Amino acid sequence: MVLATSLLTTACGSKENNSDDKFDYSVEKFADLQILRYKVPSFEELSLKEKELIYYLSEAALEGRDILFDQNGKYNLRIRRMLEAIYCNYAGDKNKEEYKQLETYLKRVWFANGIHHHYGCEKFIPGFTPEYLKEVLLTIDPSLLPVADGQSVEEFYAEISPAIFDSSYMAKRVNQADGEDVVVTSACNYYDNVTQAEVEEFYGKLKNPNDKTPVSYGLNSRLVKEDGVIAEKVWKVGGLYSPALEKVVYWLRKAEGVAENDNQKAVINKLIEYYETGDLKTFDEYAIYWLKDTDSRIDFVNGFTESYGDPLGMKASWESLVNFKDMEATRRTEMISDNAQWFEDNSPVDNQFKKDEVKGVTAKVITAAILAGDLYPATAIGINLPNANWIRADHGSKSVTIGNITDAYNKASHGNGFGAEFMFSDVERQLADNYGDITGDLHTDLHECLGHGSGKLLPGVDPDALKAYGSTIEEARADLFGLYYMADPKLVELGLLPNMDAYKAEYYNFLMNGLMTQLVRIEPGNNIEESHMRNRQLIARWVLEKGASDAVVELVNKDGKTYVLVNDYQKVRNLFGELLSEIQRIKSTGDFEAARTLVESYAVKVDPTLHAEVLERYKKLNLAPYKGFVNPVYEAVLDDNGNITDVLVTYNEGYAEQMLRYSKDYSTLPSINN
Ligand code: ZN
């Protein structure tokens, strides 16, 4: 119980920490983006050796920045450097509207690591004219511009401008439209001069269906056709992106020298070996070492990791995250995991679909120290790696939630007017103020640590039986497992929630989001595509409909505006339990038809009238739907012999300031011919 009490004070206590009030979480806002900053609590309390390790790993993280720009599109580095040259050297009128538009465009390019929207993948078009760009360019010293050898500024402009202004040229970074050649029509830089059929044939030949431990084919290379020959150009030291990877390796070696223990040393060493050879078998060995290193306080991701940026889902974008374990918050997730069997045994799911022996995943809560590559400035709040299916099956996976990032999101959203606009009354707003943050975190933990790991398939059921509906059903299952238990006295007993009212904050928020407010991310006329969003609407609409006869949840109209009203929270819990039971049945038996009916009936379609109203109300709040972060600045303090005696962390760097510093200090790749 002592453990439980201390947990509670951590969860709630962050709000009472006075020093927090002075910390400015919001940096700036432009286009549809808001830039925040995050704190790195407890960094000062780490030992010198730990700080040193974080410092070296952070340098290794920042050195990879140019790789992602180039992966996202072949003109990106040139466009970024051209805009930076203008930003730093233009002597003309900087108060002119067109110049301000140019500045915004550069900020968007920095944010997206290229010329396509980081989330929607469509090209964003600048608010200045091609003529203006040309006029400005001609005033800049050509030696400061990323022109090719022998190229005049006019020729450079002619080459680069379609990528910036022509919305039909390189229109999408990742195109997944059914029936199109997704390789040819995607602007990402993972393929050159090859068709989708050629790519599929190339990798089809490499794959052996009997291989129980297949490497992640294509993960770390660009596939190109030159002189009629199709071949991989591997990203490694001595290969593509070598100048960047050499620097990454340089800092990793330093990190290896101050590793916490032999396991961690071996992890770093394997990663270096992989960068030096490009060998994907070595990468898998590294991933297993990394997975098994659970004792180290400090941990990191550094490499070609997620494949969302490739329309075929093979090639991985470069990213890095350096972090250390949040001891207090991790005790919270450990407590959930330690009780995993109790949660499984007591769930409303039919006994035949329950696991006899459940192993809770220990999702540790981490404190991010630096975000880089595809995790910067926009970042995930939780990560589960490695991605290779056979490694996950044979060795498991590591799941983390990033506590200080979630905290920064929460803090920045307090008092932004969202609750005032969309919540029914002060009762709901009070619940959100008192319990919104802790219940939000707890629901995420339950979802990750228990939800995904609960239940079992009946013997002989194909795990892919639900096909395209599989991921929505899976997310719904994990969310419902968490929602059902949010209202259980067990959580109060374990000290994870302060009282039996707290869960209502999460219930209200979840229903409001699923029924209304998540629609702010959808363009008018579009359906819901993303599986987490589908899952939320599925659950919320289902509960609304099934509880209609008892008016459990209602959409009510007040002064011409629609609100979610929850009349009976306990009945909402029962409905969550009922739906969880049905969703688990669908998953366990592979009932494709039932999955399709549920998803198509509740999760996909949007009520156009309500959608328009939500968009209109949201617009008036003038909030940015997407957020990203500037990093803290780490400074190594050296003695006369060049040894590190301390590492200092500061938080006052601005967005443009940070981006320009990164472009100067971590400018690893040439503008052309990567
Ligand atoms: Zn999930």
> In this structure, are residues 353 and 34 in contact, taking their beta carbons and an 8 Å threshold?
no
Contact (Cβ atoms closer than 8 angstroms) between residue 518 and residue 536: yes
Q: Three-state SS for 650?
A: strand
Q: Which residues pair with 259 in a beta bridge?
A: none
DSSP letter string, 569-626? HHHHHHHHHHHHHHHHHHHHHT-HHHHHHHIIIIIS---HHHHHHHHHHHHHHT--SE
Interval between CA 384 and ligand 1 midpoint (Å): 10
pLDDT value for 10: 26
Can you give the pLDDT at residue 360? 66
- Give buried/exposed letters for 522-559 (b at 16+ CB in 10 A, else e): beeeeebeebebbbbbbbbbbbbebbeeeebbeeeeee
Q: Look at residue 341 and tell me if it is in a domain.
A: no
Work out the number of other CB atoms within 10 angstroms of the CB of residue 135: 12
pLDDT of 232 strictly over 50: yes
> What confidence tier does 467 reach under pLDDT thresholds 50, 70, 90?
confident
Question: 382: buried, middle or exposed (CB in 10 Å: 19+, 13-18, 0-12)?
Answer: middle
How far is ligand 1, taken at its centre, from the CA of residue 381, in Å? 12
Give me ligand 1 centre to Cα 277, in Å.
34
pLDDT at residue number 400: 87
Please give the distance of CA 134 from its chain centroid, rounded to a whole number: 36
Give, for 160, the enclosing helix (H) or strand (E).
Answer: helix 153-165
355 C-alpha to ligand 1 centroid (Å): 19
CA of 77 to the centre of ligand 1 (A): 34
Q: Is residue 398 part of a domain?
A: no
CA of 397 to the centre of ligand 1 (A): 14
Centre of ligand 1 from the C-alpha of residue 361, in Å: 13
Q: Measured between alpha carbons, how far is 269 from 251 in angstroms, rounded to an integer?
A: 12
Helices 242-257 + 262-277 axis angle, to 10: 160
Average pLDDT, the chain: 93
Q: What is the CA radius of gyration of the chain?
A: 26
Give this prediction's pTM. 0.84
Ligand 1 centroid from CA 188, angstroms: 27
Cα of 402 vs centre of ligand 1, distance in Å, is 15
**45 found inside a domain:** yes
Domain that holds residue 69: 4-163+637-662
Per-residue pLDDT tens over the stretch 171-228: 999 998 888 999 999 999 999 999 999 999 999 999 998 999 999 999 999 999 999 9
Summarize pLDDT for 612-667 with one digit per residue, the tens. 999 999 999 999 889 999 999 999 999 999 999 999 999 999 999 999 999 999 99
| pLDDT of 25 strictly over 60 | yes
Q: Is residue 585 part of a domain?
A: no
Which of 14-28, 106-120, 293-307, 514-528 shows the lowest mean pLDDT across its residues? 14-28
580 alpha carbon to ligand 1 midpoint, in Å? 14
pLDDT given for residue 100 in this prediction: 98
Per the structure, how many domains does the chain have? 1
Q: Is residue 545 within 8 Å of 551, Cβ to Cβ?
A: no
Distance 452 CA to ligand 1 centre (A): 7
Q: Are 348 and 576 in contact (CB under 8 A)?
A: no
- Residue 481 CA to ligand 1 center (angstroms) comes to 11
- Compute, in angstroms, the gap from residue 482 CA to the centroid of ligand 1: 11
Q: How many A from CA of 202 to the centre of ligand 1?
A: 33
> 448 CA to middle of ligand 1, Å?
6
Percent of the chain with pLDDT over 70: 96
Does a structural domain hold residue 123? yes
Please name every residue paired with 564 in a beta bridge, in sequence order, or none if there are none.
Answer: 555
Helices then strands, counting H and E runs in the chain, come out as 26, 15
By CB neighbour count within 10 A (0-12 exposed, 13-18 middle, 19+ buried), where does 179 fall? exposed
Q: Report yes or no on 49 lying in a domain.
A: yes
134 in a structural domain: yes
Per mean pLDDT, which range of 14-18, 75-79, 416-420 is the poorest?
14-18
Instruction: Give the mean model confidence (pLDDT) for residues 513-541.
Output: 94
CA of 451 to the centre of ligand 1 (A): 8
Would 620 be classed as within a structural domain?
Answer: no
Mean pLDDT, residues 44-73? 98
For residue 478, report the distance from its CA to the centre of ligand 1, in Å.
Answer: 6
What is the structure's pLDDT at 6? Answer: 24
Of 160, 545, 147, 494, nearest in space to 333 by CA: 494
Q: How far, in Å, from the CA of 554 to the mean position of ligand 1?
A: 27
Cα-to-centroid distance, 483 and ligand 1 (Å): 13
